[in-house]
Amino acid sequence: MGSDRPALTVGLDLGDRYSHYCLLNAGKEVMEEGRIQSTEAAFRRHFEGEERQRIALECGTHSPWVSRLLKSLGHQVIVANARKIAAISSSESKNDRNDAEQLARFAASDPKLLAPLLHRSMERQQDLNLIQARATLVRARTMLVNALRGLVKSAGGRLPACSTESFPVRVRASIPSVLTTVAVPLLEQIATLNRQIDSMEEQIEKLGTRYPEIGVLRTVPGVGPVVAATYVLTLDRPNIASNRSAGAWLGLRPGQSQSGDSDPELGISKTGNRYLRSLLVQSAQYILGRFGPDSALRRWGLKLASSGGKRAKKRAIVAVARKLAVLLHSMWRSGQSFQHFPQPAMATVA
């Protein structure tokens, strides 16, 4: 973004129905303000054939397709990470018009202030949509299972413990007769969701043929096809961060509020992708659980967990999840499979 910098800069605040824009000239003076419909046709009418412009917009639901469209029209597009721009996200005078102007002024002054993001390709986005759709079905299935268990408890009964996959068959005989009319539709829905989830998991399994790095990441205990595919498609590229910053990028590093002599101990930041963070935590629980195979990472986590109490165990799980995020990133970049006990010269993570 140096010598090819366009003379005109646009801040574009995207909305579901309308998007507000602010156009600045080379002297950073407002030339034009207004709003356009948030449709492809409207964006084409407004930006197609225009002098090349630098366009800044916030990352959100519409930003992937809008950014691809504007780039195809020959413009320079900057996708801003709004969560890292307090001047916009925490402004006391926040509205669409002001947000558009703020985006334009940041882009005209120094695009790095917008913490720019790169959207993944259309193909990768569609593969990630498959994973997100599966996650939605899993949440719906869990909600139905919990609802049915609650109904049975309210009638004085209790359903047996079992996996969600076997739930429709295993619990049918334990449902009180007074609840049959309301329980059967729920069981049928759960069975349908099981079939749909199984079908999606078969499709996710096949992603390994298109992304060989998924197979490398799956050599780690507790990292199955869903975790590996979600990691690869969420980070999109291995050079998005250094190995050590991968944990921080996913919100698994403690937050910081250091000032002078004050440096309080804070919880993890919980920024980044929530779903991937939850998957890494589940993998960490497996690694530290009774079925987790022996490894340097497991021993390290168990040593943290043995320092005392439930709080230590929770911290150990998060710490292992953070190490796992770093380890997966390192394996992705190097192409090396997981080593349970790496040699000292290669033990960069565990």
Number of domains in the chain: 3
Are residue 217 and residue 327 in the same domain, yes or no?
yes
3 assigned to some structural domain: no
Residue that is last in its domain, among 95, 114, 133:
114
E strands of the chain, at which residues? 8-13, 18-24, 30-37, 53-58, 76-80
Stretch (H or E) spanning 275: helix 274-288
Are residue 235 and residue 200 in the same domain, yes or no?
no
240 assigned to some structural domain: yes
Are residue 16 and residue 106 in the same domain, yes or no?
yes
137 assigned to some structural domain: yes
Cβ pair 333, 244 in contact under 8 A: no
49 assigned to some structural domain: yes
Are residue 195 and residue 219 in the same domain, yes or no?
no
- The pLDDT value recorded for residue 309 is 75
Are residue 201 and residue 223 in the same domain, yes or no?
no
Are residue 226 and residue 328 in the same domain, yes or no?
yes
Are residue 234 and residue 334 in the same domain, yes or no?
yes
Nearest 10 degrees: Cα torsion 47, 51, 52, 55: -50
Are residue 157 and residue 282 in the same domain, yes or no?
no
Cβ pair 194, 141 in contact under 8 A: yes
Are residue 133 and residue 22 in the same domain, yes or no?
no
Query: Whole domain around residue 139: which residue ranges?
Result: 122-210
Beta-ladder partners of 54: 9, 76
Q: Which two tokens stand for residue 318?
A: 């998060």
- What string of pLDDT tens digits covers the 350 residues of the chain? 555 789 999 999 999 999 999 999 999 999 999 999 999 999 999 999 999 999 999 988 999 999 999 999 999 999 998 777 766 655 555 688 999 999 999 999 999 889 888 888 889 999 999 999 999 999 999 999 999 999 999 999 999 999 999 999 999 999 999 999 999 999 999 999 999 999 999 999 999 999 999 999 999 999 999 999 999 999 888 876 555 666 666 766 554 444 444 434 434 445 567 899 999 999 999 999 999 999 999 999 999 998 877 788 999 999 999 999 999 999 999 999 999 998 764 445 54
- The pLDDT value recorded for residue 244 is 60
CA angle 275, 281, 285 (to 5 degrees): 145
Using a 10 angstrom Cβ sphere, with 0-12 exposed, 13-18 middle and 19 or more buried, the burial of residue 346 is exposed
Close Cβ partners of 349 (under 8 Å, ≥ 6 residues apart): 243, 297, 323, 326, 327, 330
104 assigned to some structural domain: yes
Are residue 187 and residue 219 in the same domain, yes or no?
no
This prediction has a pTM of: 0.80
270 assigned to some structural domain: yes
2 assigned to some structural domain: no
Residue that is last in its domain, among 83, 114, 145:
114
Looking up tokens 């913490």 gives 115
Are residue 219 and residue 342 in the same domain, yes or no?
yes
Cβ pair 90, 54 in contact under 8 A: no
The CATH number linked to 51 is 3.30.420.40
The DSSP-derived string for 101-147 is HHHHHHHHH-GGGG--B-PPPHHHHHHHHHHHHHHHHHHHHHHHHHH
In the chain, the N- to C-terminal Cα span, in Å, equals: 39
Q: How far is CA 336 from CA 205, 294, 297, 339, in A?
A: 20, 19, 16, 9
- The pLDDT value recorded for residue 4 is 76
Amino acid at 84: K
Residue that is last in its domain, among 155, 177, 210:
210
1 assigned to some structural domain: no
Are residue 133 and residue 155 in the same domain, yes or no?
yes
The DSSP-derived string for 27-71 is TS-EEEEEEEESSHHHHHHHHTTSPPEEEEEE-SSSHHHHHHHHH
